[in-house]
Amino acid sequence: MTVSTSTQIILTSHQFFEQHQEKMVKHFLYLRERDRDYAIEALYEYKNMASCPFPEIHKDVKVAYDISISIQT
């Protein structure tokens, strides 16, 4: 069975979005370590962009942050 070109494009796009989301979550966590207020402002700006691929990214950042805190304690 062969996979159509359009299916390959969809799968590749999905992988790209997942990788981008993971990279952005890590980036916002890094910013939070450096300057909490700046990180909050940057996250707000990101999620309010007209073309933001992940407008609910703040939820992923919170979950990742909560997990990192629970691991540290």
Q: What pLDDT shows up at residue 73?
A: 67
- Helix, strand, coil tally for the chain in percent (to 5): 80, 0, 20
Residue 14 domain-assigned?
A: no
Would you state the pLDDT for residue 42? 92
**Is position 1 within any domain?**
no
Provide the pLDDT for residue 1.
Answer: 45
Average pLDDT on 11-33 reads: 84
Q: What are residue 53's phi and psi, to 5 degrees?
A: -75, -20
The model's confidence at residue 29, banded by pLDDT at 50, 70 and 90, is very high
pTM of the model: 0.73
Range of the domain at 44: 26-73
Residue 11 in any domain: the answer is no
pLDDT at 58 exceeding the cut of 70 = yes
Whether residue 38 is contained in a domain is answered as: yes
Q: Is residue 5 part of a domain?
A: no
The residue-averaged pLDDT of 1-29 equals 72
* In a domain? residue 47: yes
3 part of a folded domain: no
How many structural domains does the chain have?
1
